[in-house]
């Protein structure tokens, strides 16, 4: 085995080195702050035994472009090479905690900062902090007034100015379009982003709303700016008021010219399609044409022309004059439907009564055709005894009674059980005091037709 002596010597040397060297400069590797605020860059050194610290210095930048911002010497106190303490100063001038205060920050303060200690016997010890300065963007959005046309053009612009780093600008839109953005660096280290929304402008797009959305690390949440589009277009014209019921002598008939445009319509004019003057009964009242009394001269086509600074548009309305009012006018559909429902109910009821009356007549005629009822069940009528005529000879036999005539003079069928069943069915129709013909039912000649289609007896009493 080898001797352990060299290993022990190495361990002892390492222990002495650890004790004699400083523990290092403690700083924050990165600090993020917003422009306009103050920020503190922490710095601390805990020297080891036997280490002397003579001075601490804050430097800005990296490599050969480093510049001194603040120096502290225990005997001489703080010093600021840039002049009197302004935007850079010691939080607590001492060697124990020489943290640096910067502010109010500007975007150009975004840089590298070094806290450096002069020590003996180890020389300079330092720690580096990266300061990130955020600049909140100034946001605006507006529409651009454009004319309706067939070429794609910017209809809105959104700007996020003075941001550090550059802001992200997008659009929310239900319209068919696209966006393009440009970035313009500023002398103070910020960036201005301008985004345009492009589309083919149309009258349908006028008044529609889109939104610009801006996101940035300095913003707690995305900023949404709505934009209402402005598209210039000629008027779109329609004529209201004609109800297809203009009749002779109708009074105060009105046509209204309805127009939408951007800018708003400024001029209205009325004429006929023939180009001649208006009928004498017609009176122009701006967008309205009033006809005091409808006559044959109104049987024409009226034209309304509307203008704005973009252009002129027109609409036509053909008028057909009737000799008399129509049965149903516009706006009376609801009342007509209600009256129709009532009339339908009345007609339905009359039809039902007529059907019942017809059924009763057919039943009565059928019963009348069957003849008189048979004798009651369970009785027997003995034939009459022969009578003596003169010499005591029996009387000649009696001829049978003729069968009651049926309809149209033909003999009816003999009565039997079917007639009795028929009578029972008639009893179910309703109570009636029996008078007149067979089985107490009214004779056919006793029936009288009614206006509703039913038939009743002249002599029967109904209960």
138-229: what CATH class?
mainly beta
pLDDT in tens, 109-125: 999 999 999 999 888 99
Q: Binning pLDDT at 50, 70 and 90, where does residue 393 land?
A: very low
Identical fold between 19-134 and 234-322: yes
Q: How far, in Å, CA of 241 to CA of 362, rounded?
A: 58
pLDDT of residue 49: 85
Q: How far apart are CA 360 and CA 455, in angstroms?
A: 8
Does the reported pTM lie above 0.75?
Answer: no
Burial class of residue 424 in the structure, from the number of CB atoms within 10 Å of its CB (0-12 exposed, 13-18 middle, 19+ buried): exposed
pLDDT in tens, 168-184: 999 999 999 999 999 99
| Region of poorest pLDDT, from 235-249, 266-280, 301-315 | 266-280
Q: Where residue 386 falls among pLDDT bands split at 50, 70, 90?
A: very low
Among 224, 194, 230, 220, smallest CA distance to 212 is for 224
The CATH homologous superfamily of the domain defined by 234-322: Immunoglobulins (2.60.40.10)
The Cα–Cα gap between 308 and 268 comes to 10
Q: Which stretches within 143-186 are classed as H helix?
A: none
- How large a percentage of the chain has pLDDT more than 70? 66
Q: Tell me: the pLDDT tens digits for 42-84?
A: 999 988 888 899 999 999 998 888 899 999 999 999 998 876 5
State the pLDDT at residue 198: 97
- At residue 312, the 3 state secondary structure works out as strand
* CATH number, domain 19-134, options 1.10.3720.10, 3.40.140.10, 2.60.40.10, 3.40.50.740: 2.60.40.10
* pLDDT value at residue 282: 94
Domains of the chain, residue spans: 19-134, 138-229, 234-322, 429-463
> Is the sign of the CA dihedral 78, 79, 84, 87 positive or negative?
negative
Q: Which residue has the tokens 């290993």?
A: 7
pLDDT-derived band at 87, boundaries 50, 70, 90: confident
The tokens describing 361, both together, are 């007549």
Around 195, how many Cα atoms within 13 Å sit in the side-chain half-sphere? 21
Instruction: Enumerate residues 6+ apart whose C-beta is below 8 A from 378.
Output: none
């Amino acid at each position: 085995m080898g001797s352990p002596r060299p290993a022990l010597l190495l361990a002892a040397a390492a222990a002495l080195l650890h004790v004699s060297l400083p523990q290092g400069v403690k700083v924050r590797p990165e600090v993020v702050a917003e422009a306009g605020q103050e920020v503190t860059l922490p710095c601390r050194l805990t020297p080891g035994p036997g280490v002397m610290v003579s001075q601490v210095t804050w430097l800005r930048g990296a490599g050969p472009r480093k510049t001194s911002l603040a120096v502290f010497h225990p005997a001489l106190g703080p010093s600021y090479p840039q002049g009197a303490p302004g935007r850079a100063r010691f939080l607590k001038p001492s060697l124990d905690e020489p943290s640096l205060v910067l502010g109010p920050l500007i975007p150009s303060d975004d840089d590298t900062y070094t806290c450096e200690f002069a020590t003996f016997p180890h020389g300079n010890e330092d720690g580096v902090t990266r300061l990130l300065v955020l600049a909140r963007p100034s946001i605006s959005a507006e529409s651009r007034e454009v004319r309706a046309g067939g070429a794609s053009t910017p209809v809105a612009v959104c700007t996020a100015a003075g941001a550090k780093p550059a802001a992200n600008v997008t659009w929310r839109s239900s319209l068919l379009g696209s966006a393009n953005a440009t970035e313009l660096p500023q002398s103070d280290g910020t960036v201005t982003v301008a985004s345009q929304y492009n589309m083919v402008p149309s009258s349908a797009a006028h008044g529609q709303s889109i939104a610009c959305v801006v996101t940035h690390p300095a913003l707690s949440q995305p900023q949404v700016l709505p934009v209402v589009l402005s598209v210039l277009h000629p008027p779109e014209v329609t004529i209201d008021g004609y109800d297809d019921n203009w009749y002779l002598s109708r009074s105060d008939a009105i046509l209204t010219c309805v127009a939408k445009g951007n800018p708003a319509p400024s001029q209205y004019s009325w004429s006929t399609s023939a180009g001649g003057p208006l009928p004498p009964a017609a009176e122009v009242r701006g967008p309205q044409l009033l006809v005091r009394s409808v006559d044959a001269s109104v049987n024409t086509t009226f034209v309304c022309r509307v203008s704005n600074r973009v252009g002129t548009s027109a609409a036509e309305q053909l008028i057909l004059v009737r000799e008399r009012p129509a049965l149903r006018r516009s706006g009376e559909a609801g009342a007509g439907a209600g009256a129709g429902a009532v009339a339908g109910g009345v007609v339905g009821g009359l039809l039902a009564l007529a059907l019942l009356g017809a059924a009763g007549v057919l039943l009565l005629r059928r019963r009348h055709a069957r003849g008189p009822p048979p004798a009651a069940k369970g009785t027997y009528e003995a034939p009459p005894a022969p009578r003596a005529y003169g010499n005591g000879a029996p009387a000649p036999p009696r001829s049978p009674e003729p069968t009651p005539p049926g309809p149209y003079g033909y003999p009816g069928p003999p009565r039997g059980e079917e007639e009795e069943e028929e009578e029972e069915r008639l009893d179910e129709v309703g109570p009636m005091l029996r008078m007149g013909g067979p089985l107490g039912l009214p004779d056919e000649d006793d029936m009288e037709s009614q206006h509703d289609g039913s038939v009743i007896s002249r002599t029967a009493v109904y209960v």
